[in-house]
Structure 1
Amino acid sequence: MIETARLRLRQWRTEDYAPFAAMGSHPQVMEYFPKLLTQAESDTMIDKMKSIIETQDWGLWAVELKHSQQFIGFVGLHDQPTQFSFSPCVEIGWRLDQAYWGQGYAPEAAQAALAFAFDQLKLEKVVAFTTLDNMKSQAVMQKLQMKKVSEFQHPALAVDHPLSWHVLYEILSTDFIKQ
């Protein structure tokens, strides 16, 4: 478990399934993803994230508000060994319920995940990527002092898919400033 001033990054729980499925079926939350998720797809995604954390002690953690234990989404690290031209790499990612946007939770939790990546895992670099139009996620990357390094076509999407072009950001351990 990782804690910040306001948040707790933790293993997934049974009670996270319903609110996560609601996020996955919300058009604004999923605007920059290829499709909305069904309940079964959301459940499978949690099962996979939970298993990865059980196996390696890190991953895409559930995030809750410390004061209320309210689940608000996920933030964490994901190993990308082969999928991309810039693989192998470790990606930092986040997805929060829309009710919690604009309150600084994504950069706060991501900052803690980066500290874990560099302090505990001793990584030299962490990457992040999103669609070209996802300016909110790019703003989080910039708040984290990540640098834009390139644009690329996501290999899992068709060339003509409207979300196929992505922007890649990275941060080196030597550039990370712990807050």
Structure 2
Amino acid sequence: MPAFRLETPRLILRQWCEEDIDPFHGICSDPIVMETLGPLMSRDEVAALVARMYRMQEDEGHCFWAMERKEDAQLIGWCGIVRGRPGTSIDGKPEAGWRMTPSAWGKGFVTEAAIASAQWAFDNLPDDAVWAITNTDNLRSRAVMERVGMVHDPALDFDHPQLPADSPLLRHVTYRIGREEWERTKASE
């Protein structure tokens, strides 16, 4: 089976490889990136995460893919679709997610990748919606969710089960876009 590859005008979303660990560790150990995502990650933790994404792609056909900028082939983060974790409001549902180096922020890369990921999900998965979650205070991610066309569903906001009760990142918001809304939006473009 060929390696996964999804192209947008400026990006390549692709399967992970060993060479991605060090640049992704740079992203996951950056205090600015991880401020609303969780603790800084060691290289070993990032290697385990990349291995998990690789296995998920092999087993399920999708993951948070490596996000590479076309103009210089630089890994600038990840974006893609995973199944929501147990204990969250989106358990088992297709979850769009992203993480990117700050030097690439503000250029529309995440929105471009998130739209491509959502389109991939609607084209390849049977689910009736694509979901996203983030910490309540992660205003950048919430803005991306809204640019993708997702709507906040306050009834599904939750305390993340993998975080301690005193964590400032505990409370999470839930966003979604349904298949019908997605198709209407894409038809009007």
Matched, 1:96 2:100: yes
1:122 Cα deviation after fit:
3.0
1:23 Cα deviation after fit:
0.8
Match of 2:164 in 1: 158
More divergent stretch after superposition (43-52 vs 156-165): 156-165
Separation of aligned partners in 2, 1:85 and 1:11: 27
More divergent stretch after superposition (83-92 vs 163-172): 83-92
More divergent stretch after superposition (59-68 vs 131-140): 59-68
5 Å matches for 1:90-129? 90-129=94-133
1:7 Cα deviation after fit:
0.6
Separation of aligned partners in 1, 2:91 and 2:135: 18
Which residue, 50, 54, 59 being the options, matches 1:55?
Answer: 59
- Matched letter for residue 34 of structure 1: G
Separation of aligned partners in 2, 1:63 and 1:139: 19
Separation of aligned partners in 1, 2:45 and 2:56: 17
Separation of aligned partners in 1, 2:59 and 2:43: 24
Q: Which has the higher helix share?
A: 2
Q: TM-score of the superposition, structure 1-length normalised? A: 0.95
Which residue, 159, 180, 188 being the options, matches 1:174?
Answer: 180
- Matched letter for residue 169 of structure 2: L
Match of 2:13 in 1: 9
CA RMSD of aligned residues (A): 1.3
1:3 Cα deviation after fit:
0.6
Separation of aligned partners in 2, 1:73 and 1:56: 21
Match of 1:23 in 2: 27
SS in 1 for 2:106: coil
CA contact (8 A) 2:93 2:127 kept: no
Cα 1:85–1:122 change in 2 (3 A) is closer
- Matched letter for residue 159 of structure 1: A
Aligned residues: 179
- Matched letter for residue 174 of structure 2: L
Q: TM-score of the superposition, structure 2-length normalised? A: 0.90
Separation of aligned partners in 2, 1:85 and 1:51: 24
Structure 2 unaligned residues grouped into runs of 5+: none
SS in 1 for 2:32: coil
CA contact (8 A) 2:90 2:131 kept: no
- Matched letter for residue 54 of structure 1: E
Which residue, 61, 74, 78 being the options, matches 1:74?
Answer: 78
Q: Deviations over 1:73-94 (max 9, x none)?
A: 1000011253324423111100
Matched, 1:83 2:87: yes
